[in-house]
Structure 1
Amino acid sequence: MSFQKRLTANEFVVLAEMHTPKGVNISRLVNDARRIKGRVDAIVIPGMDNGIMRMSSIAGGVLMQQQGIESIIHVYCRDRNRMALQGDLLAAHVLGIQNIVVAHSIDITEGDHREASPVNDIDETTLVKAITTLQNGKDMEGFELDGIPTFNTGCTIAPFSDDKELQEQLELAKAKIEAGAKYIITPPVFDVAYFNEVYAKIKELGVPVIPTVFLIKSLAIAQYIANTDSSAKISDEMISRIRKSSNRELEGIKIAGETIASLKDIAQGVLVQTLGWEYKLPEILDAAGC
């Protein structure tokens, strides 16, 4: 069953994120994907939304399709104008990619090409609306298309630190849904009880909600996130648990697995994010019982 059909049927979905290479060696990407084939419903391929120049997400999405794994690609506004975005979307459809996430991207100054010029010709809501317009047979200027694409479009919620920021993100998400987004992917969840409270508000938007589960690779990373990102809600208890563990790497995998298992009773899916440790995805899925 396809990712879209599972969402429509209100079934729990498991997604895994994999980045394309900074180069043309695709062996690691392909091998990591093969290890979890049949265990995830789709693989999410970000663009350069993390600020690092990489092979395009369209290429990554096609590689996943070639392996017999459904793909979801990110599109966003920082690096392309409206013409390029529409052209890429048409190309994605022709190449067999129909799952799209209009994603939030970091500022260009935080990436590895800091002298690059950001574009931001349109905002995320306008991009979602443009995707809907393409599916109605016209481009953003109203010219008719020769052949009409179809997409399953989602959107993201940016990190939020308090109720005020959450409300702002909910309003933005509502606008994207009204423009045509069919599902939401949230920032990483480190405190399931807190997320459960937040989820009660997000689900009022009326579309499937898919939280992200981030693999904590070390004590240093857990401490860094806790100290620098007030939106993460990493507890002292979690940091203490990792510190006391005789195998901190394995402890992080267990925590990710437990988080996924807990979210099965709350949300409609999870997106597992490992940022370079994609080879650990089978262990995480084992720990989650997936």
Structure 2
Amino acid sequence: MNFKKKLSAAEFVVLAEMNTPKGVDISELVTNARRVKDRVDAVVVPDMDNGVMRMSALAGGALLRREGLETIVHVYGRDKNRMALQGDLLAAYVLGIPHLLVVPAEPMSNGDHREAVTVDDLDESGILQMIRSLREGVDLSGFDLKGTPDFTSGCAMAQVAEDSGLDQEIETVKRKVEAGAQYIVTPPVFDLDAYGRIAEALKPLGVPVIATVFLLKNVGMARYMSIHDPGSRISEDMIRRIRKAPDREAECIRMAGETAAELKKMVQGIKIATLGWEHRLPDILASAGL
């Protein structure tokens, strides 16, 4: 059963995130994808994630489709206007990539090409409306398409630092669902109790929720995120657990696996993000019993 059918059937889905290379050597991407081919429902391919210039998600998605994996590509408006976005999405569809995830883009000031000019012709809701229009067989100028793509499109939920901001973010996500989002991907989960409240708040929107499981690599990363991203809710107990572990890397993998297993009871899917450690995806899946 493919990704779209599993979503529709309310079955649990497992996604793995894999970045494309900064260059043309695709060997690592392909090798890592083959390792999880029969263990995940789809691979999410970010497009120049964190503002770093890489091979396009469209190319990465096509490569992984060639390897027999379903792929979901990121879509955002920072680098392209509505005309280029529509052309890329039509290309994605004919290359066997009907699954899309509309996300906010990292500011250019945080990336490796700070002199690049941003476009931002359409915001996230505008892009979702654009995708819905293409699914209906019409482009944004009102012209009929020759052949209609059947996309599955999702949206991203922003991190919420305080419970007081949850209602406002739920309203933002609601507008994205009204614009055409068919599933929601939420930020990395480190506090399951707090996430339970988020999952409950999203239920009335009536679309599948997919939670992100993020692999902390070491104490330094956990500490940095706890300070600079308070919405992550990384606790001192979690940092202490990594620091005291005889094998810290194995402990981080175990923690990610535990989180994935618990989230299976709360939402319809998970997306595992390892930020360059895609070779450890099989270990996380094994730890989670997936």
Q: TM-score range by the shorter chain?
A: over 0.9
> Per-residue deviation at 1:104?
1.4
The one-letter amino acid of 2:93's match is H
The one-letter amino acid of 2:251's match is E
Where does residue 112 of structure 2 map in the other structure?
Answer: 112
Where does residue 204 of structure 2 map in the other structure?
Answer: 204
Where does residue 165 of structure 1 map in the other structure?
Answer: 165
Contact 1:49 1:104 in 2 (8 A): no
Contact 2:154 2:185 in 1 (8 A): yes
- Provide, for residues 177-212 of structure 1, a one-character-per-residue CA deviation record: whole Å limited to 9, x for no partner: 111110000000001111011111012211000010
- Provide, for residues 32-79 of structure 1, a one-character-per-residue CA deviation record: whole Å limited to 9, x for no partner: 000011100000000014200000101111111111110000000111
1 CA distance for matches of 2:183 and 2:136? 19
4+ residue runs of structure 1 moved beyond 4 angstroms? none
- Provide, for residues 223-248 of structure 1, a one-character-per-residue CA deviation record: whole Å limited to 9, x for no partner: 11111111000111111111110111
**Pairwise CA RMSD of aligned residues?**
0.8
1 CA distance for matches of 2:168 and 2:155? 15
The one-letter amino acid of 2:103's match is A
SS in 2 for 1:154: strand
> Per-residue deviation at 1:172?
1.6
SS in 2 for 1:155: strand
Contact 2:196 2:266 in 1 (8 A): yes
2 CA distance for matches of 1:49 and 1:128? 19
Where does residue 74 of structure 2 map in the other structure?
Answer: 74
The one-letter amino acid of 2:278's match is E
Contact 2:170 2:202 in 1 (8 A): yes
2 CA distance for matches of 1:115 and 1:66? 35
Find out whether 1:92 has 2:99 as its counterpart.
no
> Per-residue deviation at 1:169?
2.0
> Per-residue deviation at 1:165?
2.9
1 CA distance for matches of 2:265 and 2:142? 44
The one-letter amino acid of 1:217's match is K
Aligned ranges 1:175-214 → 2 under 5 Å? 175-214=175-214
The one-letter amino acid of 1:73's match is V
Find out whether 1:244 has 2:241 as its counterpart.
no
The one-letter amino acid of 2:142's match is G
The one-letter amino acid of 1:72's match is I
Structure 2 regions of 5+ residues with no counterpart? none
> Per-residue deviation at 1:166?
2.3
> Per-residue deviation at 1:287?
0.4
1 CA distance for matches of 2:61 and 2:50? 17
Contact 2:19 2:49 in 1 (8 A): no
- Provide, for residues 86-140 of structure 1, a one-character-per-residue CA deviation record: whole Å limited to 9, x for no partner: 0100000111100000011111100000111111011100100000001111110
Find out whether 1:26 has 2:26 as its counterpart.
yes
> Per-residue deviation at 1:144?
1.0
The sequence identity of aligned pairs, in percent, is: 54
Which stretch shifts more, 13-22 or 42-51? Answer: 42-51
Structure 1 regions of 5+ residues with no counterpart? none
2 CA distance for matches of 1:143 and 1:169? 34
Give the structure-1-normalised TM-score. 0.98
Contact 1:183 1:208 in 2 (8 A): yes
Where does residue 273 of structure 2 map in the other structure?
Answer: 273
SS in 1 for 2:232: coil
Find out whether 1:64 has 2:64 as its counterpart.
yes
2 CA distance for matches of 1:114 and 1:134? 32
Find out whether 1:42 has 2:42 as its counterpart.
yes
SS in 2 for 1:231: helix
Contact 2:133 2:139 in 1 (8 A): yes
Contact 1:49 1:76 in 2 (8 A): no
Which stretch shifts more, 181-190 or 197-206? Answer: 197-206
Contact 1:47 1:56 in 2 (8 A): yes
SS in 1 for 2:53: coil
SS in 2 for 1:260: helix
1 CA distance for matches of 2:82 and 2:144? 16
1 CA distance for matches of 2:23 and 2:195? 37
